[in-house]
Structure 1
Amino acid sequence: MNKNDAIAFVEPHLTKQRFEHTLRVASTAVSLAKKYNVSPEKAELASIFHDYCKYRAMDEMKRIIAASNLPKDLLLYHHELWHGPVASIKIEEEFGITDHEVKSAIYYHTTGKANMSKLELIVFIADYIEPGRSFPGLDKVREMAQNDLIKAGWMVSRNTIKYLMEKENRIYPDTFHAYNDLTRLITGGNHIE
């Protein structure tokens, strides 16, 4: 699917602000993909569709999760986590997008996971650092993303966990798995001391 078709499909499903965010994420992801030798086309496609289901009715997303092979424990966590996994199913059903890497990058763009691919990391990071966002510490993550994809992903997962803990929100296990795996990659440690 080409970029213009993907944008045309996505735009009616998003608010103006969320659509503009999506375009910025796509631009950021393409830039990172080129820097880290990942397919810019896959990064762009995954980014354009990453929030495709963000404004779907909660009842519809619940039904999709319940009827699919998605983990049922998603339903025990905040509905903000649902749109990535649901979109990974809907883009295949509605547009015939079957590329596993693209679908996985969309699926995990909010939580991350252990053993993320470069493409998954790029969309995860691009969603966080896109130029329209502004909050304390963001410039450090942006700078790191230009030098070290693993460390930037680690910073995103660390900051996300801190933020959710400060809000006293529950944290989906994949987010901890992402943090632990990225920490292992950075420190080189894979054993218990």
Structure 2
Amino acid sequence: MLINLTDVLSCEEKVVKRTVETEFQSFDSSLGSFPLTEEEPLNLTLTNLGGDKLLVEGEQKFVAKIPCDRCLTETEVPIEIFFSKEIDMKQSAEGRIDDLDETDFIDGYNLDTEKLVYGELLLNWPMKTLCRDDCKGICKKCGKNLNEGDCGCDTVELDPRMAVIADIFKNSK
């Protein structure tokens, strides 16, 4: 959704609070596509700081379905985003790129809330997701989820430096 910023920028120290509905069905990135099962509205506060500077603050909560990093079971993970960004409205898009300012969510006098929230979701995405703290993962040999029970595979791993001695004992039997 695009929000026109001319009303906020019309007079100094003006504060505008908005509640915006975003329409993310899923979060798509290079990591994959993850469905968002719950999504609260985005609470935005836009403040004119004077001198063509704008303060954009906001918060939003999501619940995403992410596979467990050990056993690949779908897990619902709550994600909360909070942000506060000061934007210089005098700068052109090229000037922002030159200064490595990543405000691609500002286009002229419009604020693109979808791009803003996507960038914040990307920054706040969990590094590791576990279905539970004591997740046992999957068997390296057969792929069974070890949280559901033992698979019966031989899980003894010998030191590779001792493989020659292990072969000698196998041959002597």
TM-score, scaled relative to structure 1 = 0.21
More helix by share: 1
TM-score, scaled relative to structure 2 = 0.22
Return the index of the structure with the highest Cα Rg: 2
